[in-house]
């Protein structure tokens, strides 16, 4: 929630950032490229299906003919999908890595003696609508399990072993450290030592040795002997993976996280994230102060009604976007995936202002003029009075 107290004059900005027109052109190019890729994939799929049909018919005919001439009969579908009857024996720990597809998980289970065949895992996945929701981590399973039961056990987070660290979107480094310490028993000194070598932790140079915004949210599981370096490495790697998959240029990684962090803290409901992003970019484009209360809260702490005081807004710290133009000195929190996506692909609007008229229900209103904005601010003030 922002802009309750002052209005800024606007001038054109020439800071090397993509202009609104350039961002629209980039979004349009991506959509066209995606459309071409879909058309190409459909054509390829049709060709593969046609060729596959021919191969299957030929194989069936050949297998039927040669089966009686050779001691090696063609495998049946039942043999290919060999499955254990259960109930399983001998506990075994299985690790699902970040980004593992179903085939990789099946291979891990098969090679560790959990399932009888990868085909059985594939068949069981087809009838379990949640099979694609298996989370990375180390699980305690059993050898010689039916494939369907192995999938159920992987979907049950109670079967995860080790220390479970949960990072919530909007947490800052200080809060994440408290979570890590409370779960793993690692000390402040051990964590700080891990941060003292940012290059070894995989932190890009553009972050200027500051980890704020780079410790990705999510559910993590670590073994009992995990080190501070392993914890930090995994969180940074997840953020790098997200930015890479979204095709964000490396030189824009820090700026993207900085904007995404503001979106995370200001956005209210996720449906508003792309519109909040548009306000941030529109202000940057016209060289207007961002005036985001969330950046003030980063230094002074939050408030129950999301407001700030006159003294806080006048403070000259590097995160105060009421006092300084442009982005704060660093990201102000860990942004979630949805906030990063909004920073990469903002809504195309002319909005300059927004205010959370109901912070509890997360209702935010947007406007293009100061007059419209003041009406929304009045609604917010009325909410404060009613809920004081």
In order, the DSSP letters of 211-276 are -TTTS--EEEEE-TT--HHHHHHHHHHHHHHHHHHTT--GGGHHHHHHHHHHHHHH-SSGGGHHHH
> Which residue, of 140, 159, 178, is where some domain finishes?
159
| 198 shares its domain with 229 | yes
Confirm whether 77 is domain-assigned: no
Is position 70 within any domain?
no
Residues 278 and 202 in one domain: no
pLDDT of residue 301: 81
Same domain for 167 and 129? no
Give the max Cα distance, the chain. Answer: 92
CA atoms within 13 A on the CB side of 278: 19
Report pLDDT for 61: 43
Same domain, 199 and 143: no
Is the Cβ–Cβ distance between 102 and 121 less than 8 Å?
yes
What's the total number of domains in the chain?
A: 3
Q: Report if residue 49 sits inside a domain.
A: no
Helices (H), 5-144: 20-67, 77-80, 102-111, 118-127
Residues 138 and 200 grouped into a single domain: no
Instruction: Give me the pLDDT at residue 8, please.
Output: 46
Together in a domain, 299 and 379: yes
- Asked if residue 142 and residue 182 are part of one domain, the reply reads no
Q: Encoding tokens for residue 3?
A: 């802009």
For residue 13, tell me if it sits in a domain.
Answer: no
Provide the whole-model pTM. Answer: 0.65
pLDDT 10s per residue in the chain (388 long)?
555 544 444 444 444 555 665 566 656 555 655 555 565 555 555 454 545 554 444 444 444 433 333 333 334 444 467 888 878 888 888 888 877 888 889 989 998 888 888 888 888 888 888 888 888 778 888 988 888 988 988 888 888 877 788 899 999 999 999 999 988 889 999 999 999 999 999 999 999 999 999 999 988 888 778 899 999 999 999 999 999 999 999 999 999 999 999 999 987 778 899 999 999 999 999 999 999 989 999 998 865 556 788 888 888 899 999 999 999 999 999 999 999 999 999 999 999 999 988 888 888 999 999 999 999 999 998 988 888 7
Cα–Cα distance, 236 to 72 (Å, whole number): 52
Q: Where a domain ends, among 124, 159, 194?
A: 159
Does residue 39 sit within a domain? no
Do 120 and 185 lie in a common domain?
no
Q: Is 41 a domain residue? A: no
DSSP character at residue 72: S
| Structural domain range at position 232 | 163-245
CATH number of the domain residue 146 falls in: 3.30.1490.480
230 and 138 part of one domain: no
201 with 155, same domain? no
184 within domain boundaries: yes
Which helix or strand (DSSP H or E) is residue 149 part of?
Answer: helix 147-155
Long-range contacts, stretch 154-157, CB < 8 angstroms, 24+ apart: 154/94, 154/96, 154/105, 155/130, 155/131, 157/219
**Residue 56 maps to a domain:** no
């Amino acid at each position: 929630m922002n802009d309750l107290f002052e209005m800024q004059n606007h001038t054109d900005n020439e800071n090397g950032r993509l202009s609104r027109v350039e961002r629209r052109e980039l979004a349009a190019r991506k959509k066209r490229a995606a459309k071409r890729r879909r058309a190409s994939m459909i054509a390829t799929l049709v060709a593969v299906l046609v060729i596959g049909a021919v191969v299957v018919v030929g194989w069936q005919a050949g297998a039927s003919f040669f089966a009686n001439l050779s001691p090696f009969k063609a495998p049946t579908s039942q043999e290919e999908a060999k499955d254990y009857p259960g109930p399983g024996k001998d506990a075994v720990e299985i690790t699902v890595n970040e980004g593992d597809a179903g085939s990789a998980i099946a291979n891990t289970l098969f090679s560790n003696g959990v399932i009888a065949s990868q085909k059985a895992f594939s068949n069981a996945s087809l009838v379990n609508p949640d099979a694609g929701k298996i989370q990375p981590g180390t699980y305690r399973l059993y050898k010689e399990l039916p494939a369907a039961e192995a999938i159920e056990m992987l979907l049950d987070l109670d079967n995860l072993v080790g220390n479970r660290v949960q990072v919530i979107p909007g947490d800052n480094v200080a809060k994440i450290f408290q979570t890590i310490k409370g779960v793993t028993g690692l000390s402040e000194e051990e964590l700080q030592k891990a941060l003292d070598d940012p290059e070894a932790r995989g932190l890009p140079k553009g972050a200027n040795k500051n980890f704020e915004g780079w410790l990705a949210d999510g559910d993590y599981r670590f073994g009992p002997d995990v080190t501070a370096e392993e914890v930090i490495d995994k969180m940074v790697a997840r953020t790098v993976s997200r930015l890479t998959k979204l095709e964000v240029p490396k030189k824009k990684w820090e700026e993207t996280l900085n904007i995404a962090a503001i979106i995370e803290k200001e956005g209210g409901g996720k449906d508003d994230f792309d519109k909040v992003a548009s306000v941030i970019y529109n202000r940057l484009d016209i060289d207007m102060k961002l005036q985001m209360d969330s950046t003030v809260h980063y230094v002074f702490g939050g408030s129950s009604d999301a407001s700030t005081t006159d003294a806080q807004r006048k403070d000259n710290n590097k995160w105060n976007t009421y006092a300084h133009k442009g982005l704060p000195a660093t990201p102000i929190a860990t942004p979630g995936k949805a906030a990063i996506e909004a920073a990469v692909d903002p809504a195309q609007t002319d909005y300059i202002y927004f205010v959370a008229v109901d912070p509890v229900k997360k209702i935010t209103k947007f406007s293009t003029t100061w007059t419209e904005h003041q009406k929304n601010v009045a609604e917010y003030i009325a909410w404060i009075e009613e809920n004081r």
